[in-house]
Amino acid sequence: MNMQHEQLAHRYAVAFLNLYSAQISRKEAEQIYEARKLLEKNHELVFVLSVPMISQEKKDELVDILFKKYALPEILHTLINLLFAQKRIGLLAIVLRHVWWLYLKRNDMMHLYVESSCELTNTQKESVEKFMGYKLPSIAGIYTYKVKKDLIAGIRIHSATILWDSSLRSKLTMLKHLLPS
């Protein structure tokens, strides 16, 4: 992680949200998050956007494809055009990550990752969300569910700042440390 890039990306995200946060819905923020995930997994997309020998017309076509695929808010064009103009398009994925984080923070939201040993039913998901609403009453949760077989049984919920683990794996690990060798 390059701290200078992170700081610069953070400044772009702050400036962007200072101007446009009122125009971004929760759904659009989630679409920005999905686009960010795609860009972070596929570094070659950002690389192509930053290659000077590729025409701006071709780069604009690629950006249009991203906008259509992820139904991104049109105001994001302003940010992307600014990054192109300042030859900082290589920071796009990092800027979008900071936009997502700041959007959550400004709107009292938290992205919670829910891991379970098996697929949860809708009723179970509702119970998890109700439980977390009780634990974090002033925070609106955005939930991502994932199956992790190594938990053996139970559930694990985490975000950037919290961890709640009620999995059999964590209980066994705790017992292992409590029992003498």
Confidence bin at 181 (pLDDT 50/70/90): low
Residue 145 predicted with pLDDT over 90: yes
pLDDT of residue 152: 80
Confidence bin at 60 (pLDDT 50/70/90): very high
How far is the C-alpha of 103 from the C-alpha of 110, rounded, in Å?
10
What's the pTM value of the predicted model, to 2 decimals?
Answer: 0.75
Over range 16-20, report the average pLDDT: 94
